[in-house]
């Protein structure tokens, strides 16, 4: 059985060059990234790595070539803003999960009536 030495290394925090890339993004681009991340979430738990990877592969983000950790940083921001719920240590994308808040699901159901 092989083990990956990097498995025990956290994905976050960002290195200086990664933080510089994120800092250079416009507010509208950040909002687009956040919106896409939320779109790729569900009310059931999903691995952060899955949501980040799916978001990275959609246009226009595929052409931006931002590192995955930049998206993971936005996931943390969305959790801090209570737009997402999390389980596990968000510094490890492969070992943490996120979902849309459960109260928004009930709000959606009641507004659909």
Q: In whole angstroms, give the CA distance from residue 14 to residue 5.
A: 19
Residue percentage of the chain with pLDDT more than 70: 85
User: What value does the CA radius of gyration of the chain take, rounded to a whole number of Å?
Assistant: 15
**pLDDT, tens digit, for every residue of 14-32?**
889 988 999 999 999 999 9
Stated pTM of the model: 0.83
Alpha helices in the chain (DSSP H): 16-23, 27-39, 48-56, 61-64, 68-80, 102-111
Confidence of residue 65 (pLDDT cuts 50, 70, 90): confident
Averaged pLDDT of the chain: 87
């Amino acid at each position: 059985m092989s083990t990956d030495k990097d498995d025990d290394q956290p994905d976050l925090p960002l290195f200086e060059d990664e933080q510089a890339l994120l800092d250079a993004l416009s507010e509208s681009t950040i909002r687009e990234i956040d919106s896409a991340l939320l779109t790729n979430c569900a009310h059931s738990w999903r691995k952060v790595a899955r949501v980040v990877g799916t978001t990275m592969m959609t246009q226009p983000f595929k052409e931006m070539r931002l590192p995955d950790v930049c998206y993971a940083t936005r996931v943390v921001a969305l959790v801090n803003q209570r737009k997402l719920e999390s389980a596990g240590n968000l510094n490890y994308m492969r070992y943490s999960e996120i979902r849309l808040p459960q109260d928004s699901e009930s709000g959606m159901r009641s507004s659909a009536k």
